[in-house]
Structure 1
Amino acid sequence: MPQHQQQPTTAPTPDFSGLWVALVTPFRDGAVDHPALAALTRRLADDGVTGFVPCGSTGEAAALDEDEQLAVLDTVLEAAGGRPVVMGVSGYHLGKATAWARMLSQRPLAGLLVSAPHYVRPSQAGLLEWFRAIADASTVPVLVYDIPYRTGVTIARDTLLALAAHPRIRGIKDCGGDMAKTRALIADGRLQVLTGEDHQIFGTMAEGGAGAIAASGHIQTQRFVRLVRLLADNRLAEARAEWQLLQPMVELLFAEPNPGPLKALLAAGGAMRDELRSPMTRASDGLRERLVALDARLSRP
């Protein structure tokens, strides 16, 4: 895999608005399928996505060791065609997380997507220490990933507003499930708010959010790109019509644990094998059939 090394520098803050795809990690016989990953990344770039987020929950990062994560990242960077890449970061050991952030900062990244530490359930003061320490260690911008149903801890509104004062914390992937908190962050204006809940793309952007980091964007990508652009332009009636077509697909893609349904549909189209790492499992046959049928209907002229 090609290596992308550069001396750490403080990069200008990018614009995180638009449609980012939370990438799956294709596997073949247990190993990462780098040719499939590269082809997928190139296809999504051609379809007009803003950028890519590898090694998040959709990418089964918890099942990848560090060498595999770096190899995935380098493949995506090579195939992205100059489009920005934000790398997922998670864990619960602060020393390891800061060292990882420093290492990743040597790649030409647009940013790091950092979740709250999972399992340990720290206080709000502990969350402030966690995110500030990782942002201090990074030389690229940081997006906070608020996803309490995976980490076990909710990042409070005041904590997020305090983190917004850090010069390298520039956005949030919002899966917090608290629309009042979402509105407060949008109104504050210091963090770009990107929804991470695909079924909230319309609502969050209609309220003034900057965009989405969406697993669903792998499928019917040009429609999702068009939806986000219409919302950004405040063309709500046109966006609503597009969203009403896409919403059933979003519901089906999350009817069973992600990324099982997504990989099943991508595999049906020949993009990769329908393979996940245990304990993640393939989607059921019935759901795969429904996804394939719906995708075919959406693809008709």
Structure 2
Amino acid sequence: MSDFSGIWIPLITPFADGAVDHAALRALVRRYADAGVAGLVALGTTGEPATLDAAEQDAVLATILDAVQVAADATPQRHALPVLVGVSGNGTASMRERIEQLNPLPIAGVLIAAPYYTRPAQTGIVGHFSALADASAQPVVLYDIPQRTGVRLELDTLLTLAAHPRIRAIKDCAGSLDTTLALIRDGRLQVLAGNDLEIFSTLCLGGSGAIAAAAHVRPERFVALHRALADGRLDDGRRIFQALVPQIELAFVEPNPSPVKAMLAAEGWIRNELRMPMTPASDALARRLEALVASEEGERR
């Protein structure tokens, strides 16, 4: 059975002179494997998939899958990191075709949000996810992010979908404590925090982990946070989380992934490039992010 616990990184897509920078992407995969993260998300929101054509999306996924295997082969005691793949759209038929294309690949599952823009009724949402889960050979992770899709997954809908044998987890971005707690108490879906400032509270309530964009930087500290709370070391977890809060807050001052890319560029991992309509972090924010990265590097010395 798939395990969606721990800290997962929703990988950015690096660009260089407008093209996907596959060398930088490979380096990032190795970086996060070495940091001990639980898994990676390819082509999630943070990866700017809406700006990638179909061939580029396939190439990005191929690079990530190859890189996780290379990282595992380099360390015999390490298993290849599981990779979730984001599948987005607002047409059930076309998304089903995409899932069928992914079925032969060695992926851990698919991450699927509600259909965006169309704002279907909850009965339509149940039918949509059920059809996609029926088509998938891998587990399905629901993605509840109403601020992007225009529709939320109501609790009754989530509990109905939890009965499907291939729907195993949820990336919880709705910001409803009642829903988060109800899902954790129900126990059928693993609950992954999707809002980074809610990682601590979700884990303390009994959530399984997080898909955390801010964890692109200092991933070891996010891993340590999860381990501390999983071990019941609440004081250690609180201390680690409070130290991460400034970084998490700055990572979302402007639209994701602009701040994350600015931090990674300041660390030398990537070029600070995005594709329109996304734009790099503002100069003022970039200076704050560079100062944060510099202070962290100073602490490590």
Trace 1:108-119 onto structure 2 (pairs within 5 A). Answer: 108-119=106-117
Q: Which residue is 1:69 aligned to? A: 57
**Which residue identity does 2:49 align to in structure 1?**
A
| 2:47 aligned counterpart, secondary structure | coil
Q: Residue 23 of structure 1 contacts residue 53 of structure 1 at CA under 8 Å; is this kept in 2?
A: yes
Deviations 1:107-127 (A, max 9, x none): 100010001000000000000
1:230 aligns with 2:228: yes
Alignment TM-score, normalising by the size of structure 1:
0.94
Q: Residue 267 of structure 2 contacts residue 293 of structure 2 at CA under 8 Å; is this kept in 1?
A: no
**Which residue identity does 2:6 align to in structure 1?**
G
State the alpha-carbon separation in 2 of the partners of residues 87 and 197 from structure 1.
19
1:60 aligns with 2:48: yes
Q: Residue 52 of structure 1 contacts residue 85 of structure 1 at CA under 8 Å; is this kept in 2?
A: yes
1:35 aligns with 2:40: no
| Structure with the higher fraction of residues in helix conformation | 2
Q: Which residue is 1:144 aligned to? A: 142
Alignment TM-score, normalising by the size of structure 2:
0.94
State the alpha-carbon separation in 2 of the partners of residues 29 and 115 from structure 1.
31
State the alpha-carbon separation in 1 of the partners of residues 167 and 54 from structure 2.
24
Q: Which residue is 1:297 aligned to? A: 295
1:51 aligned residue (25, 39, 47): 39
| 1:267 aligned counterpart, secondary structure | helix
| 1:58 aligned counterpart, secondary structure | helix
Deviations 1:18-58 (A, max 9, x none): 00001100011111111110111111111111110010110
1:125 aligned residue (103, 123, 126): 123
Cα shift at 1:150:
0.2
State the alpha-carbon separation in 2 of the partners of residues 171 and 245 from structure 1.
28
| 2:275 aligned counterpart, secondary structure | coil
Q: Percent identity?
A: 56
2:85 aligned residue (84, 87, 96): 87
Query: Which stretches of structure 1, 4 residues or longer, exceed 3 Å deviation after superposition?
Result: none
Q: Which residue is 2:239 aligned to? A: 241
Q: Which residue is 2:174 aligned to? A: 176
State the alpha-carbon separation in 1 of the partners of residues 261 and 89 from structure 2.
25
Structure 1: runs of 5+ lacking an equivalent? 1-12
1:157 aligns with 2:155: yes
Cα shift at 1:234:
2.1
State the alpha-carbon separation in 1 of the partners of residues 63 and 20 from structure 2.
11
1:266 aligns with 2:264: yes
Deviations 1:56-76 (A, max 9, x none): 110001111221111111111
Structure 1 window deviating more from structure 2 (142-151 vs 29-38): it is 29-38
Cα shift at 1:285:
1.5
State the alpha-carbon separation in 1 of the partners of residues 128 and 114 from structure 2.
8
State the alpha-carbon separation in 2 of the partners of residues 136 and 172 from structure 1.
17
| 1:173 aligned counterpart, secondary structure | strand
Root-mean-square deviation (Å)? 0.9
Q: Which residue is 2:75 aligned to? A: none
State the alpha-carbon separation in 2 of the partners of residues 181 and 112 from structure 1.
22
Q: How many residues align?
A: 289
Cα shift at 1:296:
2.6
